[in-house]
Structure 1
Amino acid sequence: MLEFDIVPAERRPAAERAALLVDPGFGRVFTDHMVTIRYAEGEGWHDARLVPFGPLSLSPATAALHYSQELFEGLKAYALPDESGEVGSGRGRGGVGLFRPDANARRLNATAERLAMPQLPEELFLKAVRTLVEADRDWVPAGEGQSLYIRPFMIATDPFLGVRPSSEYLFAVIASPSGAYFSGGAKPVTVWISQDYSRAAPGGTGHVKAAANYAVSLRAQAQAQDAGCDQTVFLDAVEHRWIEESGSMNLFFVYGSPDAPVLVTPPLNGSILPGVTRDSVITLARHRGWTVHERPYSVDEWSADATGGELLETFACGTGVVITSIGRARSRDGEFEIGGAAEGPVTASIRDALVGIQRGRAEDPFGWSVRA
């Protein structure tokens, strides 16, 4: 296991930090430090450091800039309540919890394997995350709905123009105190069904967190915003019929009744990201005795069942959004409403259960929340 060289940052004054934490938004504010670890062929992982957050020095010929050999992950740290149930800052008596960081470590290596990048030992991933959180505990916000969003990433750094795997890499971790992903909070969002653009195709990189996946979604997201929508729903690249995922979120469709719901979600077919939150929702639902079907789900079925009332709710899930209700879906062919365009009880219940575990307010029978 590598030991980290520590180069302390000049910390921002407490008053400045407190002002930024009042309303940090999402992904706009960053903590004082970052972690970096280098890789070189023949040497392996080395030069692990905790250093002040700041610019990276890269050659204009850096491989990641030309051939997109780059990946990232996303997870969160939460200020936990103390014995009295009160939540303080990251240095409060309750401490800080991480939600399923081992799952992110495994998924990072799955992405690395697909992109011909080196595997990072899981224990080194976890140590890097914990090193940063320990250094910047004061930045873990305590407000309702707030968390410390943690962004590990890896880029190819070989200064070489040629289509081959890089021989050098940089792994880094940065962190951002964040509020809600969508400004409306629990208010249902409106989504745009993209009929012009595909996010991923069979045999591609849709099942991993390659940075390029998000670049190709941006034009569709701009189209969604032009249509007054919050997010895009992508269909399969072959038939343009089957629902896959929504930008950075997995999708669930709720049938049955609030007391005995039946959840439907598209299967992991190689072009859908295996979301950590998606897996958590499925596990929680089945633990409650609910039925979950992982099966192909068409846009026509969605529209017909929402219009006819058979479909009760639709929600999206992901690390950034956690759980968010979808109230309307829009496309060039028109618009339909789901469940009266209001958040339903199943969506609210599963979100409350998940957030309760993440924030240390509820029993965690799965061992998902670990101390930072």
Structure 2
Amino acid sequence: MTQPQNSSASEALSSVEQNVQGVVQQGRTAFVELLDWITEDTQSVTLALAITLAVTIIALLIKWGVSFARQRTDQSSLAHVFLGSADRMSAMTFLVLGASVGLSATPSPDSVQDAVWYVLGLVLIIQVAAIVRGLAIDLVQRRALKRADSRSAVWNGIAIIKWAISTFIWSAALLVLLDNAGVDITALIAGLGIGGIAIGLAAQGLFSDLFAGISILFDKPFQRDDFIEFGDFLGTVSKIGLKTTRLRSLSGEEVVIRNTNLLDETIRNYQRLDERRWLFQIGVTYQTGADQLEQIPGWIKSIIEETDQARFERAHFARFADSALEFEIVCHAQSMDYAVFMDVRHAVNLALVRKFAEEGVEFAYPTRTLMIAREDGSVIDPAASTQTQERDEQ
């Protein structure tokens, strides 16, 4: 396995060396012919220089105009991002482009024109790579900053994304440059693919957590200071990292969770509640009269509506339970704050106790009646037996 790889590397290096020698030889020939042309045809050379300067100056003026227009656009708009491509156009690109136009418009030597067009191709490859990289990074930053509240966490993610984008684009540009120089890049691409697979397998867990962290930063299932529930854990998000997320639990300790594990589970984000729904039941004794049973939902509605930050939804006589006549009530605490939710429950429960005591309605609790039978099967009434025993004692 090692010998074929060494052979491929040697062939690639030999190919690069041959191409470099060829380019150097063509450059020498073009330079000699350029000097001869300058000494023999001064008028054409002057015209070529004039055209080169004119094209360069016009291109720079256009660039400055686009940059000025960009400054008048909103920084968060797409127009601002795409107009920023003008700022990445270099003066060298304009100069080489102007030289190509000037030499083409004059009777310059073919070898000189070929050399300049060759250089223009290399410069344009680098220029296009720089523009594409800048646009990709600007779009990522624009999306992140529009949706992020914690700049530090976002910029940690942006740094990794910028590195990945830059590595990919400049690697592709390098391959195009080598291919443009006549180098066979097939073996090189195959080697990069095998190396990438090996690195990916070795760092599978790290990359998994990394991309999960980036997903959290951009998808925003939760943010810092949100109160969330994850599996058996309840806590406030204290830090969102690229590999782990940290929660401050209700009991005070810090819980560190891998980002991959976090996204594999269902997350309940209580911070994004507009209001908290409360469903509860109360039971009254079977001795409660029908008229009072009919009035109880109205009592409950009035109590909830008079409670601050509470909204009534419904109250019904729901079921005949074993030891109680049960009512089912639904109301809402109009705040996402858990402390406010508990204050509403406290106030409603206390008001219900007072109202039921005022109306003479008893809350039910689990009871059991024990019936005793005589030998003949007749039922002994415990109350009657107690009364008889008391008369006998008197």
Please confirm whether the aligned pair reaches a TM-score higher than 0.5, indicating the same fold. no
TM superposition score category, shorter chain reference: under 0.3
Identify the structure with the greater strand proportion: 1
Q: Which has the higher helix share?
A: 2
Higher relative contact order (CA 8 A, sep 6+): 1
After TM superposition, the score normalised by the length of structure 2 is 0.17
- Larger radius of gyration, structure 1 or 2? 2
TM-score normalised to structure 1 length: 0.18
